[in-house]
Amino acid sequence: MRIAAAAVLVFIAAKAVAQDQNQNPDLINPDRPGIADGSRVIAPGQFQLETGLQYERHDVDFLFVPTLVRVGALKRLEFRVEGNTLTHANGQTGFAPISLGAKIALVQSDNGPTFGVIVRAFPPSGTSEFKDRHFTSDIRLTADIPLGEKFSLNPNAGAARYEDNGQTYTAGVFALTFNYQPSARLNPFFDVGYLSSTGTGTAAAVTLDGGIAWIIGDDIQFDISVGQGVSGDAPRPFVSGGISIRLGRHSR
């Protein structure tokens, strides 16, 4: 009887997951949480806000509000405004630099791998000790690679020119997210981030991160994640929670 009952429960759960996936083909697909960003763009006419609260421990503690605003422009193009916005550290509160950028979908597919590119430009901006005085930028190639029905990989790789203590430096950027989706609305994940330098003469920073995201309705996602740096000036640790909201007409 126990085996039969367990089999029935598994069958019901599997059927519910299949129905959820079939009845909701157009769910929100944010770039947060996790270190790597996705390769898919939002539909033209859509607006998406992805924000949260994040705590990081370095030499001093940081508390900030990471925020990404995405606007769908064309079928393969979205515009992006991104930054850590309101930031508190070392007894001071101010605004972190803001980037202006775009994501371009290079290869689109409903079932196979998808590829894209994200470019960001950071004009001099920010306040108090968080201000950047030089123009900086980065570029990343992104991909979403399905591994069967429930698993996928999300790699990012690129190059950046950033600023630290008034000096600019060049760094290589890499991130890889491993996703597990037991249903279309639930996404536990684990990822790793690599930055070849965090300033002139500094060592590479490596961060491990894990968490979960879940979708409520079709257009709202909640998430929570924790991470730990294992080398360089990576956060030790960090904790983040957030929400993503999609507005505008659906793509289907």
CATH number for 78: 2.40.160.40
Identify any residues that bridge with 98 across adjacent strands, giving them in sequence order.
83
| Percent over 90 (pLDDT), the chain | 79
How many Å apart are CA 109 and CA 185, to the nearest integer? 20
Q: Which of 187, 92, 176 is CA-nearest to residue 130?
A: 92
pLDDT at 201: 83
DSSP state of 183: B
Task: Establish if 76 belongs to a structural domain.
Answer: yes
Task: Establish if 226 belongs to a structural domain.
Answer: yes
Structure tokens at 163: 């600023």
Average pLDDT, the chain: 90
Domain carrying residue 232: 26-247
Structure tokens at 90: 């070392």
- Neighbouring C-beta atoms of residue 189, cutoff 10 Å: 22
* pTM of the predicted protein model: 0.88
pLDDT average, residue stretch 11-37: 68
Which residue type sits at 86?
A: L
Task: Establish if 6 belongs to a structural domain.
Answer: no
Q: How confident is the model at residue 57 (pLDDT cuts 50, 70, 90)?
A: very high
Identify whether the C-beta of residue 42 lies closer than 8 Å to the C-beta of residue 246: yes
Q: How confident is the model at residue 59 (pLDDT cuts 50, 70, 90)?
A: confident
Contacts of 174 by beta carbon, 8 Å cutoff, 6+ apart: 155, 156, 157, 158, 193, 194
Mapped onto helix, strand or coil, the DSSP state of residue 88 is strand
How many Å apart are CA 122 and CA 118, to the nearest integer? 13
How many Å apart are CA 242 and CA 247, to the nearest integer? 17
pLDDT at 8: 32
Identify any residues that bridge with 239 across adjacent strands, giving them in sequence order.
55, 226
Task: Establish if 9 belongs to a structural domain.
Answer: no
Strands 205-216 and 220-231, bridge-based pairing: antiparallel
User: Is residue 128 scored above 60 in pLDDT?
Assistant: yes
Task: Establish if 2 belongs to a structural domain.
Answer: no
Q: How confident is the model at residue 5 (pLDDT cuts 50, 70, 90)?
A: very low
Into how many domains does the chain fold? 1
pLDDT at 74: 96
Torsion angles phi and psi, residue 46, rounded to 5? -90, 155
pLDDT at 134: 96
Which residue type sits at 82?
A: E
Task: Establish if 39 belongs to a structural domain.
Answer: yes
User: Is residue 3 scored above 60 in pLDDT?
Assistant: no
Q: How confident is the model at residue 200 (pLDDT cuts 50, 70, 90)?
A: confident
Task: Establish if 17 belongs to a structural domain.
Answer: no
Q: Which of 182, 107, 113 is CA-nearest to residue 146?
A: 113
How many Å apart are CA 70 and CA 123, to the nearest integer? 18
User: Is residue 9 scored above 50 in pLDDT?
Assistant: no
Structure tokens at 26: 């157009």
User: Is residue 156 scored above 60 in pLDDT?
Assistant: yes
Task: Establish if 100 belongs to a structural domain.
Answer: yes
Element (H, E) at 35: none
- Neighbouring C-beta atoms of residue 217, cutoff 10 Å: 11
